[in-house]
Structure 1
């Protein structure tokens, strides 16, 4: 098991909770979690760190507005994603890290694409799983995504278990730990500042304004991009990654069968093998 250190890092006007493993390795990987209520960096990526930490400096963060990072009372005019992008780069500056690879799940995938468009020279390779922010018909929110967005209409243990069930083809993967995992996430989700941040993020026409990268900008990305998507993902459909793959010049797409939105959890071995091989230049 990798040794993980947990610290709070200044990120401009914010503070970011950082879980770090493999410090001292030459190349860094920044892990960007999704937007679910109660989500944190480690809730998304705890099962993946060991596969990377032998070769990479792994930076697993709670993004601004989630977990134990800052929860600003207001969003800037550019919305939540722009706020996160600025904070992430400020954190890297504070750590003295000039360049990173990115791994982003769902909303984290959209953040990753926004980071590479903003500062391509500071980003190495990009891995997105079930990335949000696609255009066209793929942009329409699914009923399962609407359950995530409207979670606080009924913030109960039953609602959390239902939401988790949409993230996996087989919710039985967690066995008798499903209740425990739902309770852990609900405990975080019910913190007043976490709820406030969720409602700000998904406020109509304001919170996620600017999340989607324009097609013109996608076409100018020269970084290598790997899109991993659960074939049965009901939260962000596979068509979203197909849409990105047709517009990002150096993108490749891998669809994992019998897998939903949490590819890094439900198909951890496959995800870890694909991601590490991609970063090493073998695919």
Structure 2
């Protein structure tokens, strides 16, 4: 099977989704759900993971509605971004003729994965969630998360590099490439429609958030692997511990020396664990 990434725009209802696909023709499909943050895209989260897994899996990486090169609605009611993304993801599966896929979701993408499992469990196999947002322990955003939310108070390359460093246990991981990575992500972040969507995403209705009621989590029947960096300061690991106690078929994999981006900072371990979990080998 080809590991070449093919990029296309797929019309789903009122939205257009930028879709990157590699490994098409493999028997099982993974839908990758990226996290939030200024300049975030599907491939900024998952390029390395797709390169590693597309030998075995049909890998779909999507810019969600409100991010990257997908649609940026002019008006999004407070607290409705996840509902938009749930509808768009299910519509995408219909458009591509995919009856059932696995999920891999990072941060807000982890919360989106849980919403999808609750909404349409029959459409999904197993789910891998890294640093998933929305746990009942998260009554207030962490200081690092607040820097992400308020990025547009100071949208500079320096601020972007600092924000990226907060995602990592070891900020030297990117070496002298950190500045270039920050500049690349900043170029996406400062697009007017991207900034507008960011502000819409983090404008919440009173009492709203990305979480689900505990009763909904307890009804999830899919197998779920919760992966969390032990040193995650953006979404603390207590969140995944909270999920693990409420999702009936969940298991927790805590990674030492790892921050919020497990799939990047501990790439080989994350890929090996994901392969084993999706193959029902752990």
TM-score using structure 2 length:
0.97
Aligned pair in 2 of structure 1 residues 27, 76: CA closer, same or farther (>3 Å)?
Answer: farther
Q: Which secondary structure state, in structure 2, belongs to the residue aligned with residue 67 of structure 1? A: coil
Q: Which runs of 4+ in 1 moved over 4 A?
A: none
8 Å CA contact retained: 1:234, 1:261:
yes
8 Å CA contact retained: 1:12, 1:91:
no
Looking at structure 2, the residues matched to 49 and 117 of structure 1 have their Cα atoms a distance apart, in angstroms, of 26
Q: Tell me the residue number matched to 2:87.
A: 86
8 Å CA contact retained: 1:79, 1:209:
no
Deviation at 1:213, TM superposition (A): 1.2
Q: Tell me the residue number matched to 1:57.
A: 58
- Trace 1:142-153 onto structure 2 (pairs within 5 A): 142-153=142-153
Q: Which secondary structure state, in structure 1, belongs to the residue aligned with residue 205 of structure 2? A: coil
Q: Tell me the residue number matched to 1:133.
A: 134
Q: Tell me the residue number matched to 2:49.
A: 48
Looking at structure 2, the residues matched to 204 and 256 of structure 1 have their Cα atoms a distance apart, in angstroms, of 31
In the alignment, structure 2 segments of 5+ residues that lack a partner are none
Which string of whole-angstrom CA distances, capped at 9 and with x for unpartnered residues, describes residues 226-273 of structure 1? Answer: 000000000000000000000000000001000000000000001000
Deviation at 1:76, TM superposition (A): 4.7
Looking at structure 1, the residues matched to 133 and 49 of structure 2 have their Cα atoms a distance apart, in angstroms, of 21
Q: Tell me the residue number matched to 2:275.
A: 276
8 Å CA contact retained: 1:82, 1:210:
no
Q: Which secondary structure state, in structure 1, belongs to the residue aligned with residue 122 of structure 2? A: helix
Looking at structure 1, the residues matched to 239 and 125 of structure 2 have their Cα atoms a distance apart, in angstroms, of 22
Deviation at 1:205, TM superposition (A): 2.2
Looking at structure 2, the residues matched to 222 and 60 of structure 1 have their Cα atoms a distance apart, in angstroms, of 24
8 Å CA contact retained: 1:64, 1:84:
yes
Deviation at 1:56, TM superposition (A): 1.0
Aligned residues: 281
- Trace 1:105-184 onto structure 2 (pairs within 5 A): 105-135=106-136, 137-184=137-184
Deviation at 1:203, TM superposition (A): 1.1
Q: Which secondary structure state, in structure 1, belongs to the residue aligned with residue 48 of structure 2? A: coil
Q: Which secondary structure state, in structure 2, belongs to the residue aligned with residue 3 of structure 1? A: coil
- Trace 1:1-283 onto structure 2 (pairs within 5 A): 2-76=3-77, 79-135=80-136, 137-205=137-205, 209=208, 211-283=210-282
Query: Cα RMSD over matched residues?
Result: 1.3
In the alignment, structure 1 segments of 5+ residues that lack a partner are none
Which 10-residue stretch deviates more, 179-188 or 138-147? 138-147
Looking at structure 1, the residues matched to 158 and 250 of structure 2 have their Cα atoms a distance apart, in angstroms, of 38
Looking at structure 2, the residues matched to 280 and 10 of structure 1 have their Cα atoms a distance apart, in angstroms, of 32
Looking at structure 2, the residues matched to 236 and 205 of structure 1 have their Cα atoms a distance apart, in angstroms, of 21
Looking at structure 1, the residues matched to 132 and 145 of structure 2 have their Cα atoms a distance apart, in angstroms, of 13
